[in-house]
């Protein structure tokens, strides 16, 4: 206990000094916790807070509760080490400092609640404060609980990409994800969650009761100290959070920044369109027909070339593409890779100027839809994926640029789900005398696989039902893409079509394409270009370059460059021929092609 007012003032003085220095660092100098001085100050603040709460609640129970709380908070670093993730001692100590402040905050809240109930002597008030304190403890433990429980259930740590994917998912899709990946480990995870919360709550709830009720003067002094310390710690937590790199919070922080970037991309749409209007150099190549040209881009979902017959897989699940690939009109790219194993991140690059090889940010990047529209194409967006999630993404912003949007699933709900063949029924009525560009986004091999295809396409029966259903979706996608190609060729104005998948899939990994557990199968994708005889005769350079480069390595964030060339658009801003696989100037060899947003080389994922 605090023995005198001088001790109280001295203690308060230390904490106020630490808080003042921290405030100056954060709001005046703008230093971050990466700075050693700022980091040391915050660590000292954590130690001061811990010391102050111990002075209030000095007991063996306090020490035991503190140790259990620290083990809970810092276990995420042990998990990251087990998974061979990048974790430094510096990061660990920052986590320690943050946990000190959170624990001290909970200890001081408990002390104040105990003093209130001892004075009020009300069972109802005591029950209310107990429930409220349980909520505080759960919130205080939320970040480490999130990481620990996800690890137990999936064998990996939750990342910003996983949270981002969930944020873009509606309720029904979330339910499908859970059902597809549910196993006994999720039950174990829930039990562990209950145990961790219960143990920490019981231990924290037992501290803060050591003061002598008969010592009125000391109690008043301690209560003032506790309330003041509580305010100091609340302020310090809010000051530190924006710059705190405690591992679980850092994940949430990165996710928040990404969502902000998505919002910025949407807000900048008008500015980008206005800028395009000023580009007098933007025009179509003279080799195109004057009376109309049709181009189509088909985007698949979660299809890996490692499980496609046309790429050498031992099941004949691509009969149409295997036959078409023998034609001079079909160019199969043999070494295509995804830039990331999740849809939004992939298409944010693939459909825009942004890529792994340039400094152009997504928020400033023109989309292929914007460029095509500005160059004179009538544009269409057809999708069998849901239009609305919790958050809007660059994909929906790109789609909204189209002259006509067609969504088979135009709500946030999943009732009335269609198979991909519905897109053929809703194929737009185009004017063949105009230049038309159609983007079609399939549901493809999205989990849950057996729900993505009619029963007549469930033809594979082996020892692994999950693989069987996945291979069935590949067969069905082969049928759909072939039918779209036939539909396109029925128009005399048809010139070319591109099909590729956003990313691959491993049916036995949670979610199928978890970036934390990424493997080659999630990144190795199909990519194929179909061209008409008229295109071959009129655009011989593009055709011959594609044929010559079909075996070269390529990442799908360079789709924008390829489509601009296929569409024969000239004068596109910041266009780089060295990144265009349909150009003789394409310069990337297999050791230079990147994936995982530039953090890895694709050669690391070769068989």
pLDDT of the residue at 224: 64
- The values of phi and psi at residue 599, to 5°, are -90, -15
How confident is the chain (607 residues) per 10-residue block, as mean pLDDT? 51 54 47 53 64 66 85 84 68 76 80 77 85 92 86 75 60 59 80 93 76 51 62 62 59 64 67 73 88 96 97 97 98 97 91 95 89 94 75 75 85 59 94 96 90 94 94 98 98 98 87 72 98 97 98 98 97 95 97 94 88
Three-class secondary structure of residue 531 per DSSP:
strand
Distance, CA of 516 to chain centre = 11
pLDDT value for 120 = 72
**H/E segment holding residue 347:** helix 343-350
Sketch out the chain's domains with CATH numbers. 5-241 (no CATH), 291-605 (3.40.720.10)
Q: Minimal CA–CA distance to 474: which of 453, 451, 499?
A: 453
Q: Give, as one character, the DSSP assignment of residue 525.
A: E
- pLDDT for the residue 570: 94
Residue 413 CB coordination number (10 Å) = 13
For the beta carbon of residue 485, count every other beta carbon within 10 angstroms: 22
């Amino acid at each position: 206990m605090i023995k005198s007012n001088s001790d109280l003032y001295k203690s308060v003085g230390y904490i106020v000094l630490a808080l003042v220095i921290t405030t100056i660092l954060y709001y005046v100098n703008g230093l971050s916790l990466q700075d050693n001085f700022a980091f040391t100050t915050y660590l000292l603040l954590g130690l001061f807070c811990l010391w102050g709460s111990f002075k209030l609640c000095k007991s063996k129970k306090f020490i035991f509760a503190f140790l259990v709380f620290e083990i809970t908070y810092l276990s995420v670093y042990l998990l990251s080490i087990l998974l061979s993730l990048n974790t430094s001692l510096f990061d660990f100590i920052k986590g320690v400092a943050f946990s000190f402040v959170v624990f001290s905050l909970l200890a001081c809240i408990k002390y104040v609640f105990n003093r209130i109930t001892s004075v009020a002597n009300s069972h109802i008030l005591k029950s209310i404060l107990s429930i409220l304190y349980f909520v505080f403890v759960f919130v205080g433990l939320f970040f480490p609980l999130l990481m620990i429980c996800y690890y137990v259930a999936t064998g990996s740590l939750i990342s910003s990409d996983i949270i981002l994917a969930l944020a873009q998912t509606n309720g029904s899709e979330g339910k499908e994800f859970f059902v597809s990946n549910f196993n006994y480990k999720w039950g174990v995870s829930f039990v562990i969650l209950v145990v961790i919360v219960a143990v920490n709550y019981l231990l924290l709830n037992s501290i803060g009761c050591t003061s002598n009720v008969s010592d009125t003067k000391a109690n008043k002094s301690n209560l003032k100290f506790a309330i003041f310390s509580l305010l100091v710690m609340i302020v310090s937590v809010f000051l530190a959070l924006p710059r705190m790199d405690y591992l679980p919070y850092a994940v949430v922080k990165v996710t928040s920044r990404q969502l902000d970037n998505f919002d910025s991309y949407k807000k900048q749409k008008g500015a980008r369109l206005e800028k395009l209007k000023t580009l007098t150099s933007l025009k179509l190549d003279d080799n195109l027909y004057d009376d109309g040209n049709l181009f189509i881009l088909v985007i698949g979902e979660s299809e890996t070339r490692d499980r496609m017959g046309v790429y050498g897989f031992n099941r004949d699940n691509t009969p149409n593409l295997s036959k078409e690939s023998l034609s001079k009109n079909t160019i199969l790219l043999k070494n295509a890779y995804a830039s990331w194993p999740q849809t939004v991140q992939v298409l944010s690059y693939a459909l825009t100027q942004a890529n792994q090889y340039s400094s152009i940010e997504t928020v400033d990047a023109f989309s292929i839809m914007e460029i095509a529209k500005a160059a004179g194409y009538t544009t269409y967006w057809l999708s069998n994926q849901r239009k609305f999630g919790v958050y809007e993404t660059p994909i929906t912003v790109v789609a909204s640029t189209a002259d006509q949007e067609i969504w088979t699933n135009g709500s946030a709900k999943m009732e009335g789900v269609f198979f991909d063949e519905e897109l053929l029924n809703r194929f737009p009525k185009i004017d063949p005398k105009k230049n038309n560009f159609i983007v079609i986004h399939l549901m493809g091999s999205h989990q849950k696989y057996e729900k993505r295809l009619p029963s007549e396409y469930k033809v594979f029966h082996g020892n692994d039902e999950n693989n069987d259903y996945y291979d069935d979706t590949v067969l069905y996608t082969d049928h759909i893409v072939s039918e779209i190609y036939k539909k396109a060729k029925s128009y005399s104005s048809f010139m070319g079509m591109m099909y590729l998948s956003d990313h691959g899939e491993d049916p036995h990994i949670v979610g199928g394409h978890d970036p934390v557990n990424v493997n080659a199968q999630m990144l190795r994708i199909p990519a194929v270009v179909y061209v008409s005889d008229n295109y071959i005769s009129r655009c011989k350079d593009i055709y011959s370059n594609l044929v010559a480069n079909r075996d070269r390595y390529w990442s799908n964030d360079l789709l924008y460059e390829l489509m601009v060339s296929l569409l024969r658009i000239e004068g596109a801003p910041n266009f780089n021929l060295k990144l265009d696989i349909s150009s003789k100037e394409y310069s990337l060899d297999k050791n230079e092609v990147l994936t995982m947003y530039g953090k890895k080389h694709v050669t690391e994922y070769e068989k």
